[in-house]
A and B are shown apart, each in its own frame.
Chain A
Amino acid sequence: MKFLAILRDSLRETLDVKLFYVMVGLSLLVVLLAASVTYKPVPMKQRIEFENKMVNMMIRGQLQSRPETAPFDFHIDIEDFEQLGDHPEPWLADYRFFYVITVSAPAQDGLPNDQLLQSVRDEVKNAIKPEKLEQDLHRIFTEVKVREAPSKDPGQIRLEVTTSNGTTVKTRQEWTHEPRLFFGLVPIPVPVFTLNNIIVFIGDWIVGAGGAAFTLLISIIMTASFLPNMLAKGSVDLLLVKPIHRTTLFIYKFLGGLLFMFLNTVIIMVGIWLGLGIQSGMWINAFLVCIFVFTFEFAMFYAVSALVAVFTRSAIVSIMAAMMTWGALILLGWTHWAFIEQQRKTAPADYTNHWAYVGYDVLHTVLPRYKDLDWLTSKMIKEELIKPSSQQSIDPNDRAAVEAARQRQKRLDEVYENQLKKLDKEYGGYDWKSSLTVSSFFIVLMLGLACWRFATRDY
Chain B
Amino acid sequence: MPVIETKNLIKHYGRIEALKGVSVTVERGEIFGLLGQNGAGKTTLIKILLGITKLTAGAANLLDESVGTVPVRRRVGYLPEDHRFPDYHTGASLLDFYGALLEVPRAERRKRIPQVLELVGIKGRMDYKIRTYSKGMKQRLGIAQAIFHNPDVIFLDEPTDGVDPVGRRHIRDVMQSLKDENKTIFLNSHLLGEVELICDRVAILQQGEMIREGDIATLTRQRGLFTIGLADGQTFPREEIIRQGYTVTPNGTMWEVALSDGQSIDPVVDLLRARGLNLRHLVEKRQSLEDLFVETVEAAEPGVDRINRPRRPQSPREHRA
A13-63 contacts to B, CB under 8 A, are: 13, 15-16
The residues of A that contact B78 with a CB separation of less than 8 Å are 237-238, 241
Does residue B125 face the partner (Cβ distance < 8 Å to A)? no
Known: A12-B88, A458-B52, A459-B53. A241 touches B100 (CB 8 A): no
Interface residues on B, range: 20 to 34
Does residue B167 face the partner (Cβ distance < 8 Å to A)? no
Which of A6, A15, A234, A242 is B80 in contact with, Cβ under 8 Å? Answer: A234
Known: A240-B50, A459-B53. A8 touches B97 (CB 8 A): yes
Does residue A137 face the partner (Cβ distance < 8 Å to B)? no
Binary per-residue interface labels of chain B (4-21) against chain A in the complex, 1 for a CB within 8 Å, 0 otherwise: 000000000100000000
B39-93 contacts to A, CB under 8 A, are: 47, 50-54, 70-71, 73-74, 76, 78, 80-86, 88-89, 93
What is the bound-complex CA distance between A63 and B262, given in angstroms? 136
Does residue A107 face the partner (Cβ distance < 8 Å to B)? no
The residues of B that contact A4 with a CB separation of less than 8 Å are 100
- How many chain A residues touch the partner (CB < 8 A)? 28
On whether the beta carbons of A1 and B103 are closer than 8 Å, the reply is yes
Known: A13-B88, A234-B82. A243 touches B145 (CB 8 A): no
Does residue B101 face the partner (Cβ distance < 8 Å to A)? yes
On whether the beta carbons of B89 and A233 are closer than 8 Å, the reply is no
What is the bound-complex CA distance between A13 and B76, given in angstroms? 26
Binary per-residue interface labels of chain B (198-218) against chain A in the complex, 1 for a CB within 8 Å, 0 otherwise: 000000000000000000000
What is the bound-complex CA distance between A234 and B84, given in angstroms? 5
- Point out which of B85, B89, B101 has the most chain A C-beta atoms below 10 A from its C-beta: B101
On whether the beta carbons of A235 and B52 are closer than 8 Å, the reply is no
What is the bound-complex CA distance between A5 and B80, given in angstroms? 22
Does residue A244 face the partner (Cβ distance < 8 Å to B)? yes
Does residue A148 face the partner (Cβ distance < 8 Å to B)? no
Which of A2, A12, A15, A235 is B101 in contact with, Cβ under 8 Å? Answer: A2
The residues of A that contact B70 with a CB separation of less than 8 Å are 243-245
Binary per-residue interface labels of chain B (125-155) against chain A in the complex, 1 for a CB within 8 Å, 0 otherwise: 0000000000000000000010000000000
Does residue A426 face the partner (Cβ distance < 8 Å to B)? no
Interface on B for A, CB 8 Å cutoff? 13, 47, 50-54, 70-71, 73-74, 76, 78, 80-86, 88-89, 93, 97-98, 100-103, 145
17 further A-B contacts with Cβ under 8 Å, apart from A12-B93, A459-B52, are A1-B103, A2-B100, A5-B101, A8-B97, A13-B86, A13-B88, A233-B82, A235-B84, A239-B101, A241-B73, A242-B101, A242-B102, A243-B71, A243-B73, A244-B101, A245-B70, A456-B54
5 A-B pairs with C-beta separation under 8 A: A6-B101, A8-B97, A244-B70, A458-B53, A459-B47
